[in-house]
Structure 1
Amino acid sequence: MILAIDAGNSRIKWGLRDGPRWRARGWRENCAVGQLAALWRPLPPPRQIIVANVAGDAMKTALRAQLQHWPTEPHWVTAQREQCGVKNGYDDPARLGGDRWAALIAAWGRLRRGCVVANVGTAVTVDALNDHGEFLGGFIVPGSILMRHALAANTAGIDAGDAPAYQPYPRTTDNAVYSGGLAAIAGAIERMTRQIAQRDAAPPCLLGGGGAASVAPLLPFAAEIIDNLVLDGLIRIARTCS
């Protein structure tokens, strides 16, 4: 069994994989990392533990403490120059976030063709793979909540209030901010997809993250929403390391 952990900017997602199926999955907000040991202790001991952590050294220390009841040493993922069929095109491959690397590996393992891999979370990443498994590069833009908070903090008369839904022609400031943020994210995904289409055939688009369902309807093409794409990639990496 393999325990995969994706520690993002806001949430910690995890899953215990037993062969072809997930035996257990869950998540906690980062501020509740101290609750994880109680969730994990009743589970069967994993043979491997693999972690993608983009939440900093303090989170790494906290996760170690939550895992200490098992003797298995965690493997902390760093992006490689090449792994699981994916070639890393970053100027400094190790600087690519482990979560992005795992998602790219999962996408390549599923499709074996060029695609756009977008994760819509606290930050939004929009990454490009070509038909040869080469990671070409990607965008990072603020997520919808970060955009709203930035406007509220740096302008007068605009707050960070929520709007009930996307509106193509917003008629309130709250809705203009909310809808504008979603439109900007969709625009980044559409732009990357068009760029790849100029090089190769029109690529499929895989969406993950908590905001995926809000962005998908705004795209002018079908996109597949995949839960836990990063966890899928972590399992694939772990199996190459076993």
Structure 2
Amino acid sequence: MSLYLFFDVGNTRLKWAAVESNQNPSTQQKKLWAYSGSINSKSLQSEEHRSELADYISKTLPKPTAIGFCCVAGQEAIFNLKSLFPQWNDLVWQQLNGDSPVPGMRSLYQESAKLGVDRWAALIGARALSNKNTLIVNAGTATTIDLLGSNGVHYGGWILPGLWLMQTSLASNTAQLELPTRTEHHGFGTCTNDAIIGGCDAAQVGAILYGIQQAKKFKLPIEKIWLDGGNAKILANEIQKINLPIKKIIEVTEGLVLRGVWSWLRQNP
């Protein structure tokens, strides 16, 4: 069995996945990855944890045909990642960057090298899944919202604090607001806890709705919205409460960044 192995090194989580080389990144199915997993990204800083991770992966799957990765956690994380498998030192680690060219796609970012590679990878992953006018929302530590046209052009996007950052900033920078506990809420909060939770949710959902309106200025009516990241299901649940057509075009997915690395690697064997 011939495998491709991918890594997505984020600020919070390190994720990996492997697929058979004859699979296609345009495939949509629940059980997509032959192997997958994730750990805290800080584990790369520990020699002991790196050894455990390398041992687990190398014993779980056969030697891959190729390894692709993207990283937003800095050069030290890249160095530590590449040190995992000395027994596979004949393999070249292929790194996706924010300015890596992709056939049929381009970004209008002023300095493409400064486009976050996680955003570029998610855009590539979304493009593999459809050729529609799309908003790609990655709701993690930060929430990113990017506009991708059916023509393959990335028109830019936004970066805003994720739900946790929004909530903790209120607790850290005010005298009387505590870190809230997520509860079921509807509309305006009638207690401080629900007011914070609901307000932060509304800010995230509002940004998505605003993105739909902004896309119209480019004459790009949004046909698909991909929600990925640790808070994707929370935002999807909040959007389902809104009586708007947007509910029909939203889909929660997992691993858009890994899918993007996969799609890029297939085009750059």
TM-score (norm 2): 0.84
TM-aligned CA deviation for residue 196 of structure 1: 1.4
Matched, 1:28 2:46: no
**Equivalent residue for 1:70?**
88
| 1:37 alignment partner in structure 2 | 54
Matching residue's letter, 2:8: D
Distance in 2 (CA, whole Å) between partners of 1:147 and 1:154 is 11
User: Residues 180, 67 of structure 1: CA spacing in aligned structure 2 closer, same or farther, 3 A cutoff?
Assistant: farther
Secondary structure of 1:116 counterpart: strand
Q: Counterpart amino acid of 2:111? A: D
Equivalent residue for 2:234?
214
What's the offset of the Cα at 1:65? 2.5
Q: Could you say what secondary structure the match of 1:66 adopts?
A: coil
1:137 to 130, 145, 156: 156
Q: Is the 8 A contact 2:212 2:221 kept in 1?
A: no
Q: Contact 1:208 / 1:226 at 8 angstroms: preserved in 2?
A: yes
Q: Give me the whole-angstrom Cα distance separating, in 2, the residues matched to 1:94 and 1:118.
A: 21
Corresponding residue of 1:4: 6
Alignment partners' CA distance in 2, 1:52 and 1:182: 29
Separation in 1, partners of 2:186, 2:43: 34
Q: Which ranges of structure 2 fall in alignment gaps of 5 or more residues? A: 24-31
Task: Give yes or no for contact 1:51–1:77 (8 Å, CA) kept in 2.
Answer: yes
Name 2:204's counterpart in structure 1: 185
User: What secondary structure, in the 3-state scheme, does the structure 1 residue paired with 2:98 have?
Assistant: coil
Amino acid at match of 2:256: L
Identity across the alignment (%): 30
Deviation (angstroms), 1:153 = 1.4
SS at match of 2:88: coil
- The alignment of Structure 1 onto Structure 2 pairs a total of residues equal to 242
Q: Which moved more, 1:14-23 or 1:226-235?
A: 14-23
Q: What letter is aligned with 1:44?
A: P
Query: More displaced, 205-214 or 165-174?
Result: 165-174
- Could you say which residue in structure 2 is the equivalent of 1:224? 251
Aligned to 2:27: none
Displacement of 1:214 in angstroms is 0.3
**CA–CA distance in structure 2, aligned partners of residues 53 and 61 of structure 1:** 11
Correspondence 1:60 to 2:78:
yes
- The farther-off stretch of 160-169 and 227-236 is 160-169
Paired letter, 1:225 = V
Q: Tell me the residue number matched to 2:263.
A: 236
One-letter amino acid matched to 1:25? S
1:51 pairs with 2:53: no
Instruction: Give the CA deviation at 1:23.
Output: 1.3
How far apart in 2 are the matches of 1:239 and 1:120? 26
CA distance in 2, matches of 1:151, 1:2: 43
Give the structure 1 partner of residue 26 of structure 2: none
Amino acid at match of 1:192: G
Partner of 2:190: 171
Give the whole-Å Cα distance in 2 for the aligned partners of 1:83 and 1:206: 20
